[in-house]
Amino acid sequence: MIYYNIDTTENGYNSLTGEVKSLAELKSILMKNGVIPDCVGYLSIGIPHTSICICAEKGLGFYVGITDSEDIHLSLGDKDLLSEVVDIWGDGLYISKGLFIPVHLAWKAIEEYITFQKLCAEVNWITPDDIPEEGNFIAL
């Protein structure tokens, strides 16, 4: 089971909470006309101290932050953009632009972690220690 708690900002604030059996079901809940709306939220698969933070932002792609016990792994799209942040909600929730990766790759990373509890080898991963002082991330 995949448990989700996701907030979207498209067409007004909307909170989506529930559980699904597959990532395909979650995609169908999120996607509208083949597009994932700007969103931020968390996924869990029932493993204690483990969660997946997700964030979609138009023009940037998708951010994935995986907390596995005490380890935090952050998707890395562009190391040169880690000092630049984007305000996800327009109210002070900042994430480094360099953490965003293409949507298709993010879904693959999420699927591999949910299925095998392993980090996707096609994604470059960093830790919070790699984020410069001017950058930021979110994770649970």
Q: Where are the domains of the chain?
A: 2-130
CB 94 within 8 A of CB 100: no
- Tell me the two tokens of residue 15: 């909170």
Please write the tens of the pLDDT for every residue from 115-137. Answer: 999 999 999 999 999 999 999 99
Beta bridge partners of 41: 6, 54
User: Tokens 């799209």 — which residue?
Assistant: 77
- Tell me the two tokens of residue 96: 């480094």
Please write the tens of the pLDDT for every residue from 31-89. Answer: 776 778 888 999 999 888 899 999 999 889 999 999 998 899 999 999 999 999 998 87
Alpha helices by DSSP H, the chain: 23-30, 103-116
pTM metric for this prediction: 0.92
Cα 44 to chain centroid distance, Å, stands at 12
